[in-house]
Structure 1
Amino acid sequence: MSVRRLADASVQPAAFSFNEEFASAAQKWIAKYPEGRQQSAIIPLLMLAQEQDGWVTKAAIEQICDMLGMPYIRGLEVATFYTQFQLKPVGTRAHIQVCGTTPCMLRGAGELMDVCRSKIHHEQFHTNEDGTLSWEEVECQGACVNAPMVMIFKDSYEDLTPERLAEIIDEFEAGRGDSVPTGPQVDRFFSAPEGGFTALTDEKAVLKSARAREAKADAAGAAAGAAVPPSNAGKPKTDAPETSPALKTPSKVKAAPEAEKAASVAAPAAKPAKPSLDDKNRPAGIARPAMVDDLKLISGVGPKNEKVLHELGIFTFAQVASWKKAEREWVDGYLNFHGRIEREDWVKQAKALARGGVDEYVRVFGKKPV
């Protein structure tokens, strides 16, 4: 980031104060923060000062710091760090921020800057002769699909051509900026396709297809002699207990015999049995070597799991790195991991650690093992 400094003393006003409207807004912002945290309002208050005067003056920074009970240097740090704050006078009628990030540049932002150079000033952050207009190049402003675009104060103007931007500049210079429509300057609704929506404009085809599938399923059930339950296709599916199909209505619960109620209570699912230690897919173990690798460096292996691996004769990264699919599945089942070994890719981690330790792990995964 380039160094940002306050404007020369020759253009700085001697004092600053919020007008009645902005003073009220400032107090509302300060009140949003808990007691002792009012200094957190520094950014919104600096924005209010800029909205009132067009730019952030040294006097405004100091006045806001006094309001928040914070040192001047803290306010200066914030104002000079964030490029959203204008530290020099800008055009009184329009300050045009031209997006220069890749999508806009590919769509003609360079030509928009040429328009600003010819109609305002050949350099950024300089006003025209009347002091009514200024411009600058900025980073992405979040409307890439509508590139190229500019922002004038708080409003965005998108899908621009050099000719259209020239017209907009003329309107602002004439004092008629409020009459210029914001947003896309072509036949587009916000970020929708130009010319209008082209997909899902009619849901009839979708509904017809869904009904056909339901009818086919109902016919198959009837042919098999099964009772056809009401369709749930139109009902929303959520995780809320009240929408669970297993939940009975109060009337049904009351009418059910005690035996039926007892049978309706689902027994807790039994844990799957551990694979046999004599299974052919169990990885081959070794006697504890003199140098044991720290298996906890593999993400997913904690002290408890490392102890179990040691009991199985697994002591080195090289052993884990050599596991075939059947062996990984055996260990996963033995640890009751439900697929974690595959998801966390123990083999790839172990290969990196066996090949070059932590340094190789960082090279492969871009981070240290945790």
Structure 2
Amino acid sequence: MSALPGSPEATATTGLDSSPVQPPAADLPPLTEQARLEAREIMARYPQPRSALLPMLHLVQSYQGYVTPEGVTLCAEELGLTKAEVGAVATFYTMYKRRPTGRHLVSVCTNTLCAVLGGQRIFDALAADLGVHHDETAADGSVTLEHAECLAACDYAPVVTVDYEFYDQQDVEGARALVAALRRGDKPHPTRGAPLTDFRGVSRQLAGFSQHADAAAASAAVDAPGEWGPTLRGVHLAAERGEAAPPMPGGTERHAPDAGEPAATVRPAGRDGETPEEEAADARVAAADTPAERAGAAQTHPDRGAEYGQPRGRQRAGTETPPTRDPGQSGQGTSIEREA
């Protein structure tokens, strides 16, 4: 790759940004005591406080427009983490910005299908109009422009989003008109989804708080009209033609309404070394039909951490945290063998 680390081109290509966090501007709004109280409200939603870090970073952006050094400090103080730990998360995800953003974030999909249908041409035209490159903000502070690595809307390609709301099947002139309207202060309605607010507003929404001024505005956002034609066309055609996928072999038996617990969970066999609760939990894991169900059953197992379905007296080497160590502190431990 010819692009240098930390350059706009390298960031667009790799999705990683190694440039330093930009120092706060003199007119940057402070993180108030209200922000700290809302951060604690987010923390209260999770069994483990550090799980709140992602929405807390969105909260910081909703106040200051990007993840500032002050925001990193607030998250670290409230969660009992180091600033390096918070920074490692903030620099991993592209939704967390490391320099001030404009009122609106315009993302242009330049992944395969959108690129083939004109996504790169759209990006180049907008970059020229705004005088910016990837992840840079227009001089008037109105718009930050970025490449997007797939917006999961291939049936609407080429796709542009503004503050993560969709503007589908764009072309160069349509996208230029959209951005010109944003710069004038207008907010064209998305093709589908909620009415447009701004980048700080949607960051607040992502933090788990309403970005709307009142209940009526929130209801209007939920009930906003949208055009879902291409996505649902196959479903509508199937309904019109009476078509359906063939049943899976044995699917009727496997997916019949739940008749109750597996037999082994209600009639313990009394295997040596197991309590009835452990034996029942083993049976629930063994009866799971999918990896997700198996993982869920394993999470409620009274001996969580064992290799379920294998003889209970043996553990696989290298996967067990020593029982004397807090599993959230220093990672995996050494090999362990436990006797039942």
TM-score tier, shorter chain, comes to 0.5 to 0.7
**Contact 1:168/1:180 (<8 A) preserved:** no
Q: Is the 8 A contact 1:49 1:60 kept in 2?
A: yes
Tell me the residue number matched to 2:161: 151
Deviations 1:86-109 (A, max 9, x none): 101121x21211111111101110
In the alignment, what sits opposite 1:164? 174
> What is the Cα deviation at residue 32 of structure 1?
1.5
Query: Which residue number corresponds to residue 28 of structure 1?
Result: 41
Q: Where do 1:155-304 residues align within 5 Å?
A: 155-177=165-187, 179-183=188-192, 189-190=227-228, 192=230, 199-200=237-238, 202=240, 206=242, 239-240=256-257
Aligned to 1:102: 112
Letter in structure 2 aligned against 1:148: P
Aligned residues: 207
Q: Which has the higher helix share?
A: 1
Cα-to-partner distance string for 1:249-276 (whole Å, 9 max, x where unaligned): xxxxxxxxxxxxxxxxxxxxxxxxxxxx
Match of 2:18 in 1: 4
Instruction: Give the aligned partner of residue 56 of structure 1.
Output: 67
Matched, 1:69 2:80: yes
Aligned-partner Cα distance in 1 for 2:257–2:135: 56
In 2 relative to 1, CA 12–77 (structure 1 residues): closer, same or farther, beyond 3 Å? farther
Q: Structure 1: any 5+ residue segments left out of the alignment?
A: 208-236, 243-370
Task: Decide which structure has the larger Cα Rg and report it.
Answer: 1
Q: Provide Cα deviations, 1:274-332, integer angstroms capped at 9, x if missing partner.
A: xxxxxxxxxxxxxxxxxxxxxxxxxxxxxxxxxxxxxxxxxxxxxxxxxxxxxxxxxxx
Please give the per-residue CA displacement for 1:208-234, whole angstroms capped at 9, x wherever unaligned: xxxxxxxxxxxxxxxxxxxxxxxxxxx
Q: 2:32 and 2:166 mapped to 1: Cα distance? A: 26
CA apart distance, 1:8: 3.3
* 1:14/1:59 CA distance change after superposition, 3 Å: farther
Distance 1:68 1:238, change over 3 A: closer
- 1:193 CA drift (Å): 6.0
Q: TM-score, normalised by structure 1?
A: 0.49
Deviation at 1:85, TM superposition (A): 0.8
| Aligned-partner Cα distance in 2 for 1:194–1:13 | 47
Q: CA deviation at 1:145?
A: 1.7
Q: Note the C-alpha offset of 1:63.
A: 1.3
For 2:257 and 2:68, how far apart are their aligned partners in 1? 54
Q: Quickly say closer, same or farther: Cα 1:182–1:69, change in 2 above 3 A.
A: farther
The answer to whether the 8 Å contact 2:165/2:190 transfers is: no
1:321-336 matched pairs, under 5 angstroms? none
Q: 1:63 to 1:120 in 2, by over 3 A?
A: same
- Contact map agreement 1:16 1:63 (CA 8 A) in 2: no
SS in 2 for 1:137: strand
Specify which structure has the bigger relative contact order, considering alpha-carbon pairs within 8 angstroms and separated by 6 or more residues. Answer: 2
Query: CA RMSD for the aligned pairs?
Result: 3.4
Against the structure 1 CA distance between its residues 206 and 182, is the aligned structure 2 distance closer, same or farther, given a 3 Å change threshold? Answer: closer
